[in-house]
């Protein structure tokens, strides 16, 4: 009953938006409202052109980026001022290059993984569907560690390159743009909320004319997430959680407002640094973490460790923590694809509902008794 | 120095009342077991590490400056520190390349220490074999710098091909850290630094002679090759072992010998050798205490502090070069 109510609520809010959309068509354009993502906006114009604006593709970006997506059949009749846009793309596209594994699940969910023609460092792709395309040579290797080999990119002649950048130094992309290949940035990694990250599927959908599929898919994920969150709220206790790991004598762990910390709080648990205001990561002296977290009930994501022994080998200090002593340490580092890529990095932004259910199952086993966690496994 | 050790141990992110600190140090029990653990297994080893690192690096800096008669020489000049960095980089970032040969856990500090000691000793051996052939100290200096460039280049190639996580680990190592040494690692470091100090003490006479120039030293009956060998050996041991355990710690090796000379207004190694050890240890304890940012949970990388103190010293030295005691 509660589920269907929730579902109705979400559908209702969507249909309200649809009505707004129809009402707005009489005016000049409609903005496609995004529910959670803060990093981009989508606007459909009467002419059929879709405008995507990225507010800040990297930290401290000095300007917004605007991309014009023009339907292929109208590309001759619609004359756009090239200087006004950072990229003009004829859609739907047939050949795409993406640069981060987080882009791969979005393509798969939209049914367009077969349009992917190249990727830098294919080792890291774990998803079986896309992996098969790599093995059969349909997706070409374009360099190591996200450093695109520009010559190979230009030789492939894709309709679009979806890049990402950590700062304004992007000489590689500029070279590709000079060769008349449109480059758009993806800022999914800047998004701070779990559902905000997942909503970036709508960014990809606009280039493939798959908006309906994206809306449907995101609705499912968002509904599942909200339901799981509501279920977690019914828990009677709120366990204490620590995270991260020591290097030398510094403890590196997620900030209190980070993506990782939000999952913990949505799963009805208390991250010991939930008061902290950082959305990135923290580096603290290990003794202060000991003082705060010695008696915590659970330990989530101890860096790259997959076994208790490996942790102790690195630092005897771990022995001081209750969660370690009671074997309540859980990590996603052991869940890897056939070529060793950590699946969490690829799939978690796209499936926050699964991450949340994993954590609820760990913190409150009584709420999801028959659930098998996908990402988080107890350490050996 | 002893007072400073107390200050260093009693201050940290976790506020432990001074009374309790003394109780713990003299074997008493406090209500809070984690305090006892923090003092004995974290802060005391760290204070000792600070003293060893400060003394050892300053001493190796002094040896280099005297041997090369160059006020800007330091343990980094011979390429020894770069060798250690290369060892660390190969272990951390080259693991994927060599994983078929070794299988080790990446985060294991002991293997890291072994790798960077090996790296520094390989460079040291290369320098020594060149030193046997090349008579001139200046050429040796240039050769050391060249080794440094080569290792630096190999490290950049490794960085380029390694994954983000491994690169991050290497960068953490590069920040330098005095913490995280177990008692057994500390014992090993003490032994190596001890040997280095012993070799320096037996070289005091030739060191004083070197100040007057190599030809003059020879006329005083100093066996050039042998002395040079011992001094380089001592430097390699000190710099290699320290870089291995604590990462590449900047500036202390360069700045402390100068500060000491100015302070004592002498160039006699009978005074300088013990003085740089004490002074370096003290300075490192001070730097570490500052880096801990007492009572706050954050920590600054130790290299940031040593450089903030060290860089102005070097600038000031360059400006006052004419008036330097050297």
Instruction: Give the residue ranges of DSSP H helices in B134-268.
Output: 137-161, 164-175, 183-202, 204-210, 214-219, 224-246, 252-264
Q: What pLDDT is recorded for position B135?
A: 67
Closest in A250, A282, A317 to B177, CB measured: A250
Q: What pLDDT is recorded for position A146?
A: 64
Chain A to chain B, count of Cβ pairs less than 8 Å apart?
Answer: 84
Q: What pLDDT is recorded for position A7?
A: 45
Write out the two tokens for B121.
């000793």
Q: What is the distance in angstroms between the Cα of B13 and the nearest Cα belonging to chain A? A: 6
Q: Which residue of A has its CA nearest to B162?
A: A145
Q: How far is CA A213 from the centre of its chain?
A: 18
Closest in A144, A313, A320 to B105, CB measured: A313
- Which three-class secondary structure state does DSSP give residue A376? coil
Write out the two tokens for A357.
């259910």
The band of A157, judged by pLDDT with boundaries at 50, 70 and 90, is very high
The DSSP result for A69-125, as a single string, is EEEGGGTTT----GGG-SEEEEES-S-EEE-SGGGHHHHHHTT-GGGEEEES-GGG-
Task: Give the gyration radius of chain B's Cα atoms.
Answer: 20
Interface test with B, best of A244, A248, A283, A292 (most B CBs within 10 A): A248
Q: What pLDDT is recorded for position B194?
A: 93
Does B161 sit within 8 Å of A287, measured CB to CB? no
B103 touches chain A (CB under 8 A): no
Write out the two tokens for B320.
């006052």
Among residues A178, A158, A43, which one has the least CA distance to residue A90? A158
Whether A10 contacts A222, CB under 8 Å: yes
Q: Which residue of A has its CA nearest to B246?
A: A248
Q: What pLDDT is recorded for position B289?
A: 86
B26 touches chain A (CB under 8 A): no
Whether A10 contacts A223, CB under 8 Å: yes
> In percent, how much of chain A has pLDDT > 90?
62
Write out the two tokens for A351.
């499936």
Does B14 sit within 8 Å of A287, measured CB to CB? yes
Q: What pLDDT is recorded for position A6?
A: 44
Write out the two tokens for B33.
């077991």
- To the nearest 10°, report the CA torsion of A367, A371, A376, A377: 110
Q: Is A351 exposed, middle or buried (0-12, 13-18, 19+ CB in 10 A)?
A: buried
- Provide the 8-state DSSP code for A67: E
Q: Tell me the chain A residues in contact with residue B169 when contact means C-beta distances shorter than 8 Å.
A: 247
Does B297 sit within 8 Å of A285, measured CB to CB? yes
Q: Is the peptide bond before B313 cis (omega within 30 degrees of 0)?
A: no
B290 touches chain A (CB under 8 A): no
Interface test with B, best of A143, A249, A280 (most B CBs within 10 A): A249
Rounded CA-CA distance A85/A254 in Å is 36
Does B109 sit within 8 Å of A310, measured CB to CB? no
B316 touches chain A (CB under 8 A): no
Number of H helices, E strands in chain A: 14, 18
DSSP percent split of chain A into helix, strand, coil, nearest 5 = 40, 20, 40
B180 touches chain A (CB under 8 A): yes
Closest in A248, A287, A289 to B12, CB measured: A287
Q: Locate tokens 């926050």: which residue?
A: A352
Q: What pLDDT is recorded for position B314?
A: 67
The per-residue pLDDT for range A299-352, each reduced to its tens digit, is 999 988 889 988 888 888 899 999 999 999 999 998 999 888 899 999 999 999
Q: What pLDDT is recorded for position A8?
A: 43
Interface test with A, best of B107, B163, B177, B300 (most A CBs within 10 A): B107
Does B34 sit within 8 Å of A320, measured CB to CB? yes
Determine the average pLDDT of the residues in A239-246.
94
Rounded CA-CA distance A24/B298 in Å is 51
Does A288 sit within 8 Å of B297, measured CB to CB? yes
Determine the average pLDDT of the residues in A192-211.
94
Q: Tell me the chain A residues in contact with residue B46 when contact means C-beta distances shorter than 8 Å.
A: 249
The band of A16, judged by pLDDT with boundaries at 50, 70 and 90, is very low
Question: What are the pLDDT tens digits along chain B (326 aa)?
Answer: 777 777 777 777 777 777 777 777 777 776 677 777 888 888 888 889 999 999 999 999 998 888 877 777 777 766 777 888 888 788 777 765 554 344 444 445 567 667 777 787 777 777 767 766 776 767 777 877 788 888 888 888 888 777 777 777 788 778 888 887 778 888 888 998 999 999 999 989 888 888 887 777 778 777 878 888 888 888 888 888 888 788 888 778 888 888 888 778 788 899 999 999 998 999 898 888 888 876 677 778 888 888 887 778 767 766 776 566 66
Q: What pLDDT is recorded for position A332?
A: 94
- To the nearest 10°, report the CA torsion of A124, A126, A130, A135: 70
Rounded CA-CA distance A202/A196 in Å is 11
Among residues B187, B185, B161, B183, which one has the least CA distance to residue B112? B185
Please indicate whether residue A361 or residue B33 has the higher confidence score (pLDDT): A361
Per-residue pLDDT at A280 exceeds 60: yes
Q: Locate tokens 């130094």: which residue?
A: A169
Does B37 sit within 8 Å of A290, measured CB to CB? yes
Closest in A246, A247, A291 to B34, CB measured: A291
Closest in A289, A304, A316 to B165, CB measured: A304
Q: Tell me the chain B residues in contact with residue A291 when contact means C-beta distances shorter than 8 Å.
A: 13-14, 34
Among residues B221, B260, B198, B219, which one has the least CA distance to residue B66? B260
The β-bridge relationship of strands A245-247 and A270-271 is unpaired
What HEC string does A225-287 produce? HHHHHHHHHCCCCCCEEEECEEECCEEEEECCCCHHHHHHHHCCCEECCCCCCCCCEEEEEHH
Closest in B41, B161, B297 to A284, CB measured: B297
- Which three-class secondary structure state does DSSP give residue B206? helix
Beta bridge partners, A160, equal A96
Per-residue pLDDT at A1 exceeds 70: no
Determine the average pLDDT of the residues in A187-201.
92
What is the arrangement of strands in the sheet containing A183-185, beginning at the earlier edge strand?
A140-141, A116-119, A96-98, A160-163, A183-185
Closest in A247, A290, A316 to B38, CB measured: A290
What is the arrangement of strands in the sheet containing A270-271, beginning at the earlier edge strand?
A270-271, A240-243, A298-300, A329-331, A377-378
Interface test with A, best of B35, B99, B105 (most A CBs within 10 A): B105
Q: What pLDDT is recorded for position B89?
A: 82
Rounded CA-CA distance B115/A285 in Å is 26
Per-residue pLDDT at A147 exceeds 80: no
Please indicate whether residue A2 or residue B61 has the higher confidence score (pLDDT): B61
Write out the two tokens for A63.
């300007």
Indicate if the alpha-carbon torsion angle A151, A154, A158, A161 is positive or negative.
positive
Per-residue pLDDT at A209 exceeds 60: yes
Does A310 sit within 8 Å of B34, measured CB to CB? no
Among residues B158, B123, B117, B100, which one has the least CA distance to residue B243? B117
Consecutive H or E run containing A68:
strand A65-71
Q: Chain A interface residues facing chain B, Cβ-Cβ under 8 Å? A: 144-145, 147, 246-250, 282-291, 294, 304-305, 310, 313-317, 320
Q: What pLDDT is recorded for position A117?
A: 95
Q: What pLDDT is recorded for position A222?
A: 95
Range in A28-42, A332-346, A356-370, B84-98 with the lowest mean pLDDT: B84-98
Rounded CA-CA distance A375/A304 in Å is 13
Does B13 sit within 8 Å of A287, measured CB to CB? yes
């Amino acid at each position: 009953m509660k589920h269907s109510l929730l579902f109705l609520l979400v559908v209702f809010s969507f249909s309200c938006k649809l009505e707004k959309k129809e009402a707005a068509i009489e005016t000049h354009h409609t903005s496609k409202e995004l529910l959670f993502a803060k990093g981009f906006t989508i606007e459909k114009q009467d002419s059929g052109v879709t405008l995507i604006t990225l507010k800040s593709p990297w930290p401290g970006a000095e300007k917004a980026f605007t991309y014009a997506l023009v339907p292929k059949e109208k590309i001759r009749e619609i004359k756009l001022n090239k200087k006004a846009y950072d990229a003009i793309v004829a859609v739907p596209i047939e050949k795409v290059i993406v640069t981060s594994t987080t882009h791969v699940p979005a393509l798969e969910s939209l049914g367009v993984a077969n349009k992917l023609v190249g990727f830098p460092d294919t080792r890291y792709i774990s998803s079986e569907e896309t992996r098969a395309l790599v093995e059969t040579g349909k997706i070409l290797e374009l360099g190591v560690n996200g450093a695109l080999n520009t010559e190979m990119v230009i030789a492939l002649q894709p309709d679009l390159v979806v890049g990402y950048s950590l700062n304004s130094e992007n000489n590689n992309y500029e070279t590709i743009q000079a060769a008349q290949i449109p480059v758009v940035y993806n800022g999914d990694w800047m998004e701070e909320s779990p559902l905000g990250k997942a909503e970036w599927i709508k960014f990809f959908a606009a280039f493939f004319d798959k908006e309906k599929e994206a809306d449907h898919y995101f609705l499912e994920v968002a509904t599942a997430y909200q339901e799981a969150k509501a279920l977690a709220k019914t828990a009677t206790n709120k366990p204490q959680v620590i995270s991260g790991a020591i290097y030398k004598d510094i403890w590196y762990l997620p900030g209190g407002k980070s993506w990782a910390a939000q999952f913990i709080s949505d799963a009805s648990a208390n991250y010991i640094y939930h008061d902290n205001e950082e959305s990135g990561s923290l580096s603290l002296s290990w003794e202060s973490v000991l003082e705060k977290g010695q008696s915590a009930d659970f330990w989530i994501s101890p860096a790259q460790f997959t076994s208790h022994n490996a942790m102790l080998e690195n630092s005897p200090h771990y022995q001081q923590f209750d969660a370690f002593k009671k074997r309540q340490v859980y990590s996603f580092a052991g869940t890897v694809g056939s070529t060793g890529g950590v699946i969490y990095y690829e799939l978690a932004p796209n499936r926050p509902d699964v991450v949340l259910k994993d954590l609820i199952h760990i913190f409150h086993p009584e709420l999801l008794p028959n659930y098998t966690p996908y990402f988080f496994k107890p350490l050996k | 120095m002893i007072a400073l050790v107390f200050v260093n141990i009693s201050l940290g992110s976790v506020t432990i009342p001074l009374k309790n600190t003394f109780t713990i140090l003299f074997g008493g029990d406090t209500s809070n077991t984690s305090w006892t653990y923090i003092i004995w297994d974290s802060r005391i080893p760290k204070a000792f590490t600070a003293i060893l690192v400060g003394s050892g690096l300053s001493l190796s800096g002094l040896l280099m400056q005297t041997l090369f008669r160059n006020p800007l020489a330091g343990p980094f000049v011979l390429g020894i520190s770069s060798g250690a960095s290369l060892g660390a980089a190969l272990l951390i970032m080259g693991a994927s390349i060599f994983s078929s040969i070794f299988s080790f856990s990446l985060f294991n500090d002991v293997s890291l220490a072994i790798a960077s000691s090996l790296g520094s000793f390989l460079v040291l051996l290369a320098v020594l074999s060149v030193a046997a052939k090349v008579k001139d100290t200046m050429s040796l200096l240039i050769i050391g710098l060249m080794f440094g460039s080569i290792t630096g280049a190999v490290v950049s190639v490794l960085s380029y091909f390694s994954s983000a996580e491994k690169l991050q680990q290497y960068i953490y190592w590069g920040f330098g850290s005095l913490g995280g040494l177990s008692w057994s690692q500390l014992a090993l470091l003490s032994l190596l630094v001890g040997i280095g100090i012993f070799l320096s003490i037996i070289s005091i006479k030739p060191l004083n002679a070197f100040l007057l120039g190599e030809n003059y030293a020879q006329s005083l009956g100093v066996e050039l090759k042998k002395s040079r060998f011992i001094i380089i050996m001592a430097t390699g041991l000190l710099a290699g072992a320290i870089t291995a355990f604590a990462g590449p710690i900047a500036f202390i090796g360069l700045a402390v010998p100068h500060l000491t000379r100015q302070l004592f207004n002498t160039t006699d190694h009978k005074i300088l050798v013990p003085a740089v050890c004490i002074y370096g240890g003290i300075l490192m304890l001070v730097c570490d205490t500052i880096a801990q940012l007492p009572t706050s949970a954050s920590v600054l990388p130790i290299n940031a502090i040593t450089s903030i103190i060290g860089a102005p010293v070097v600038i000031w030295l360059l400006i006052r070069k004419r008036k330097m005691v050297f």
